[in-house]
Structure 1
Amino acid sequence: MTIRAEDPVPVAGVTAAAAEEGGTSPADLILPLVVVAAAVVLAGYGYLRRTRRARSRTTPGLVSAHPPEPSARDFERQARASLVAADDSVRTSREELGFAEARFGPQEVEPFAAALRAAETELAAAFAIRRRYEQGAPEDESARRQALVGIVGRCAETGRRLDTEAAGFDQLRSLEGGMSEALEVAEGRFRALAARTKDADTVQAELRERYSPSATAPITGYVEQAKDRLVFATTHLNRARQSADSGDGDRAARELRAAEGAVVQAEVLVSGVERLAAELKEAAGLVPAVLSGGEAEVAEARRRPPLVPEGELRARLAHADAALSAVREELTRGPYDPLDALRRITRAVGLLGVGRAGVIPVAALLTARSTTSAAGAFIATHRAAVGAEARTRLAEAERLLAAEYADADDLAQEARDLAERDVRAHGNPYDGPTDHASGLAGAVLGGILLGEEPDGGPPASFGGPDTRDRRRLPRE
């Protein structure tokens, strides 16, 4: 809100003119009082702002009567925070919508699904602006500031679309008044997932025996984290049922949402193990064909007129030959990383620019999808610590999967590296032995609980930044 110091002046002029005409009415007496009162309020407001600003200063001096303009760093900070909040809101809304659809069917939840799609569109536009901003576009400082304002605006619209539907969504779910069916849906997913988690433990052990450590690195700790989320879900499903039986519908809804969030994240982690196992198997089956295809590409590059200077072509051919030879040697040595083998072959052969058909693009797409999925799973299950940079690169990698496989692969790996860096730097205040045993630490790190209270805070719910924390306990 902007307050102009000169606004009262015309009003005073009108009052004086009225007085000169000699007429006095109640309105003539009230208006000056209103003006004076407004001036007092504005002066008090200005004084408080100046006092607070003076107290926050680290160096002595006079306080300016004109507040400083937000700096570029302020805009940057707000844009990053807006992206994180909007992305978290979309993720949580998508997750809770899945439980509602399982209970009521797609037709009943369509209005909320439509709101979610609209929010996703706004968020994608915000991430696209952010990506261009990171790449230096636009260059003009004023235009760059406007780009940041545009990001904040898109994120605000993302949240608004979800906040608008939050009340109607709660009315559809009716968790406070009818908990039994919602509990059955969550408990059914929990039981199926518990069985899959046991199988995933076995699968992970087999992958470690069959492939090199780098092949299984993307899922390190996933089974343990899934079990942690399931422990948390068990506790809160039991509490939800107890609260429902005692007639405390608000607490039952809170506990159920916490359990649902944990079930979703456990499923993401277990699916990550299952997906990587399938991808490694497919990659291992592709390696011989990709080796043959790569050799054919190299031979074709040697036959045809060069598209680059001779020296550059020789260097690229030598690099491709070395990559093919290294992979052939790995196949005879023992456990290796088939996805990484495909990546090295497709990258080396791709530099030759020979052809885009055949098995080479298939292999490139497989590796890009694998890296992107792994980055997405990590960010989804550690979202409370992950910043805007990692999320922006993931969004761009997902967009590029349709065509630019190598670029998507690179961006997804950057997203994963940045997310892991954020998690290492973040820490977790809920990090005691009891917090880990109950799964509380993982639930807060994963954004299942919003971390605003000693018990972990309210669970995240369908909605934007203004409504997603609505299931908090009442203040006592």
Structure 2
Amino acid sequence: MAGFWGKRRRDDDRFQAEDSELAKRAGAALVAADERIRVTKDELVFAEAELGADATADLSTALASVRQHLGEAFRLNQLNHDEIPDTAEELRQRNARIVQLCEWAENVLDERTAALAEKIARARRAPEILTGVRADAASLRSRLPHARETVARLAARYSQDALAQVGANPAEAEQLIGFAEHSAGVAERRREAGQREHANLALEASTESVRRAATLLDAVETFEVEALRAEATLGAIVEDSRGDIVVALKEPHSPGVAAAITELQSALAALPMAGVNVDPFTHLNRLREANAGLDAAIAAARERAARPIPPVEHVLHAVDDADRQLAVARDLIAGHRGWIGADARTRLAEAERIRVDLDRFLGTSASAATSIDEDLREEAMAMARRVAYLAGEAIQLARRDIDSSRPQDPGQWGGGWGGGRRGGGSDVMGGILGGLVIGSVLDGIFD
């Protein structure tokens, strides 16, 4: 007995320690959440001044909701310390709820302030950013003459179609630079006038314009390098393509290979003569596609050569066999409908569906076809064999259902229509009719 009371005392001590720790957590969480609300309120005032009410609407709404829920936490904490005695369970539930509310409040404020953090940081660094935008714009403007010279040099070597992707870049970059300089001035003037929201919009426009102008000018330099690489690669692919044609001509005859060779020869013939303005990117892409098509055609021809194509007669025999199997399955199931279950019926339905697809696949009645294209024979053979297999399964399942439904006692079949019949008239008629379901006829046939 002493051991029981000792264990109970130890359990009580452990629960008291856990409740005390939970109470400390609740108090600390309440203080932290309250301070976080006060700090966020100050941040919201600054954000609204810098970004405007629209940009900070989500944070403002979240702050109001958090303050409301934190009020509930304070009320629960007040109940824990009023003059009314509380049970241990009541204190435990309140403290747990306080911790939950405070953690939720912290998470909501973290999410909303994180969404504005970058914009707020940008607003605080606005003067520094404006200085950087003007410096970047000046640097980009100094690159414009070189970009124009590069485009002029490229125009003498490459076709207009090839140069279309960068030909207008210097002019577009110059417009963007001018817009960036103008927007920077607007941002500065609006900030001095206290119109922070408009100032930030103009600042974002200026920084984005500078970024786009730099991208356009960089693209001019990149194009020249990539065009030279494309020309070098084009020469190598031309040599490879000619060698591929020689190899392909030695492959087994195939309509697909012949068409692929013709396409690759056309791509080679379309290449301009030396000294003529070219579009290396377009020619390179066409040669790559033609080479890939030839590789695929050769692979298909080799695979087909390794797997002989079935003769037309074999395909037709397979279709005839499938039709015979289907006919047997249909007759067996139709003649014993009352005994046939779902499995046999499902196999028959699937076989009939594939049989219809086979006719559609061949575009005619397969049994009457005198010739089938080589490209279709193998798949037609597979479809016909699938039909026969499913029909055979339907037959086996139907026979299983019939055997399991027939009376096992031969005496049930004898004795004529009179007193020798055992089990009643319904058993006799069930056996004689082979499971036919004819509705109410069986119910009243002996009346």
Q: TM-score range by the shorter chain?
A: 0.3 to 0.5
Length-normalised TM-score, structure 2? 0.38
Q: Determine which structure has greater relative contact order: mean sequence separation of CA pairs < 8 Å that are 6+ residues apart, divided by chain length.
A: 1
Length-normalised TM-score, structure 1? 0.36
Which has more helix, going by share of residues? Answer: 2
Larger C-alpha radius of gyration, 1 or 2?
A: 2
